[in-house]
A and B are shown apart, each in its own frame.
Chain A
Amino acid sequence: MAKKYQYLVAENWGKGFIEINDSIKFTISGFPGDVWRVPVHDKHANLWINKVLGVIKTKNEAQAIVDALVETAQNNYDAQSDAYKARHDRPTDIPLEE
C-alpha cells in the first residue's frame, strides 16, 4: 500500500507555527510529543517541514513517541484512587496511520 503520510517532530512555538496559508494548502495533524503528520510527496508540506525545522520520523518511531506519552498518562491514571477513576476517563491509545 502506498504511503499517504510522513511524520516529523517539531516544537510548536505558537503563533506562526501553522499559518492559515499552510492549513489551506495541506492537512496537518498533531499528536502528543510534538509529533506531526503531513501528506507525503507534497511540495507545500515539505516547505512547511523546512520552516518548522521538522525532524522526519518513520511511522514506527512516531508511534513510539506517542505511545510513551500515552502510557505515562495511563500509568498515572491507573495509580489513582477508585474515586478519581470514577471522575476521569482512562487515556486511550492513539494509533497512527501508515
Chain B
Amino acid sequence: MSEYKIIKGFKIQTVAADPSTDLGQVWYNSTTAVLKYNAATPSSAVWASGGALNTARYELGSAGTQGATLAFGGDIPGGHTANSEEYNGTSWAEGNNLGTSRYYLRGAGTQTAGLGFAGYIYPGSWKNNTEEYDGTSWSPQNNMGTARRSPGSGGTQTAGLAFGGNKSPGGALSNDTEEYGGASWTAGNNLNTARVYLGGAGTQAAGLAFGGFTDANVAVTEEYDGTSWANSNNMNTTRARVAGAGIQTSAIAFGGLTPASPAYTGVTEQYDGTSWANSTSLTTARRSAGGAGTTVAGIAFGGNAPPHSTATEEFTGANVPLVKTVEID
C-alpha cells in the first residue's frame, strides 16, 4: 500500500461502488470486499468468449442482459426444442422448459421476467403462442393475433413488441406489428417493408427493425415510435438472420447471412439513432444467433456456423473500462 502511495501520490480509495476510472487506477470496493483496477480501456469494441450453451441451437428466443441472459427454444439437430437456459455471466444452467417446443420464436424482457412468442413447427404450423417466464418457469398467455415465425422483437414482458416475420398460408411475408401489454396483444401499424429473419431492438415505444429477407436479403432499417414505423438509413452490410441488442438510439446488429461469399458473417454494426457504423466483428461468423444486452455489454449465443453452435460471445463497447479484481493467493 505504501508503494502505491509513493508511486501515485495518494492512498488507494475505498468506495462502495466501482467508480468511473482511468487506466491503471486502483480502488477497494468495500461492498464486495475486493481490490480492483482498471486494466484497459479499449478504444474499439471487443468480443470475448463466454460459457457455452448446454444445447446447441439456432433460431432461438432470447432475452435479458449480458450477466443475466435467457435462451429458449430453437432449431436443434433433427428438430426443435423446448429447452430453456439461464446465463449468469460465466456459464449456462438449465431452466424449466417452454410449454410449447418450437423454433423460429422470439423473445423480450429479462431473465426474471421474460417473454417468448411466435415460432414454427414443421410442417406448416406457424405459432402464435405466447409464454411468460418468471425466473423459474414458463406459463402460457393469450395468443398473438397473427401466428408467425422469425419476426423482429423488442420491449419487456409487460410491454413487448413483435414485427414482421412470415405467416400462413405458405410463408407469406408479414408486415404486421403487435404490441403486448402484459396480458394480450393488440395490433399496431405495419412495417413499411414486409420481411422475415429481421433483427430487432429497443422498446415498445421506441423500437428498431433492421435487415431481413424479402425475396432477397435487405439492409432496410425502420424506427417505431409507439404508433408507426419510419424508414431510417440502411445497414452497411445487407443481411438476414441477424441478431441484435440495445435500444433505438444505441443498438448493435451482429452476425447473419449475406449475399456475398462467405455467406456467414460476423460483421457487427452499431446504430446511433441515425446511421450504422461498422464495429468489431464476432470472433465466429454465424447466423440466427440469440442476442441480448446493450451496446456497452451485449451478448451473442448459439446460431449456426455451421453446424448448430453452443458458442457464446460477450460484447464490450468502445471506451468501456476493463475492470479486473486483484487476486491474492
Contact = CB atoms under 8 A, between A and B. Distances in A.
Interface of A: 12, 14-24, 28-32, 69-70, 72-73, 83-84, 86-87, 89, 91-95
A31 B50 CA distance: 16
A72 B171 CA distance: 28
A92 B307 contact: no
B122 A23 contact: no
Most interface-central of B49, B51, B122 (chain A CB within 10 A): B49
A13 B291 CA distance: 20
Interface in B154-183: 171
Contacts of B257: 89
A73 B58 CA distance: 14
Contact of A19 (B48, B90, B280, B312): B48
B17 interface: no
Interface stretch (B138-146, B218-226, B247-255, B260-268): B260-268
Contacts of B283: 18, 23, 28-30
B42 interface: yes
B296 interface: no
Say which size band chain B's interface belongs to.
Answer: 20 to 34
The 4 closest A-B pairs by CB, nearest first: A30-B284, A23-B46, A14-B51, A73-B306
A95 B306 contact: no
17 contacts: A12-B311, A14-B52, A15-B51, A15-B90, A18-B49, A20-B40, A20-B48, A23-B283, A29-B283, A29-B284, A30-B285, A30-B311, A31-B284, A69-B306, A92-B263, A93-B261, A95-B262
A40 B117 CA distance: 46
A20 B45 CA distance: 9
B91 interface: yes
A2 B40 CA distance: 32
B153 interface: no
Nearest to B170: A86
Contacts of B284: 29-31
Given A32-B307, A95-B262, 14 more contacts: A14-B91, A20-B42, A20-B316, A23-B47, A28-B283, A69-B306, A69-B307, A72-B307, A83-B123, A89-B263, A91-B306, A92-B261, A92-B263, A92-B264
